[in-house]
Amino acid sequence: MSNNSTPARIKVILAAYNGAGWIVPQVQSILAQQGVEVSVVIADDHSRDATFQVVREHFAQEPRVTMLERPQGSGSAGANFRNMYRETEIGQADFVALADQDDIWNPDKLARAVARLNTDRTDGYSSAVTATWDGGETKVLTQNPATTAADHLFEGAGQGCTFVMRADFFVKVQDFCRKNQAAVEKLHYHDWLVYLLSRAWQLRWTFDQQPSMTYRQHALNEIGARKGISAIRHRLALIRNGWYGGQLAAASEIYLLAGGNGDVAADLARRLDPKRRHANGLINRLALAHAVARHGRRRGSDRAVLAFAALAGWF
């Protein structure tokens, strides 16, 4: 672990797919981080464009960049990241950070994260971002740091591309992913997985309200900053078609597998088991809706929506 006189050593893991048009500026912004020692591992998920060749050409003489090429695609950014969790050896790194392929990091992003982790004495970190669109529009996407007893069963800790975690925490995540691959592959979001495990293990998390990066939005974002009515419709569709309910079941399974034993969260995790939540009809839906309204997502408005969805039997 670094001390005050030695720059923190940070391993950045970046999942890439069809990112030839964006990845070079992103990697350059990572290598330009101030006050830390950084190295980057990039896993190209069998891109159909020239991502691998572009990175190899621009960073061939850069010893801090390691490029991996998958012979077959994993199917999603989340799956690529989870493969990296299992595969990446972090060596002497003090911290591990996650990166997307198409953003631009502020020069002090990692140094600020490390300072907050040390000051707050926490194990994981995420921050606000400045979302930008091609037309020039920008919007700061903040986080609600007011955790509930079970918010981790319903959501992650914001954009995974802002995540920084202590090395010992990452190694524990890595070990869990290696031993429980079938369970973790059910959860689509690699960043939700990290936050979920941190809470199962009673670790502490920093939510930084200052933006640390430019979060670029474009047509090829797998997960982006949807706006307005379209965002609401999209989320409701995922709830009503059963997809979100499946994710809640996956998160609950992982939480219990990881030894999560918070009384409220463990009870709610068991309630979210598909076999139990569809039993006993209205009585169970009322109990689940009440629990979600009290202990669900961090924002009150989100809890209200999910409580209604639970009462309606949508998950």
Over residues 61-79, the pLDDT tens digits come to: 999 999 999 989 998 999 9
What does the alpha-carbon distance between residue 47 and residue 55 come to, in Å, rounded to a whole number? 12
What pLDDT is recorded for position 230? 67
Residue labelled with tokens 């209205």: 282
pLDDT of res. 276? 74
Say which DSSP state 7 is in: P
Q: What is the DSSP annotation of 133-198?
A: -TTS-EEEE-------SSGGGT--SS-GGG-EEEHHHHHHHHHHHHH-HHHHTT-S-HHHHHHHHH
Residue pLDDT tens, the chain, 315 long: 455 579 999 999 999 999 999 999 999 999 999 999 999 999 999 999 999 999 999 999 999 999 999 989 998 999 999 999 999 999 999 999 999 999 999 999 999 999 999 999 999 999 999 999 888 899 999 989 999 999 999 999 999 999 999 999 999 999 999 999 999 999 999 999 999 999 999 999 999 999 999 998 865 554 445 455 666 777 788 899 999 999 999 999 999 999 998 899 999 999 898 877 666 678 888 999 999 999 999 999 999 999 999 999 888
- Pull the structure tokens for residue 120: 């707050």
| Distance from C-alpha of 137 to C-alpha of 239, rounded to nearest angstrom | 29
CA 72 to chain centre: 23
pLDDT score at 162: 98
Q: For position 59, what pLDDT does the model report?
A: 97
pLDDT for residue 71: 87
Q: Are 2 and 36 in contact (CB under 8 A)?
A: no
d(C-alpha 21, C-alpha 234), whole Å: 27
- What is the Cα gyration radius of the chain? 19
Per-residue pLDDT reduced to its tens digit, 196-230? 999 999 999 999 999 999 998 865 554 445 455 66
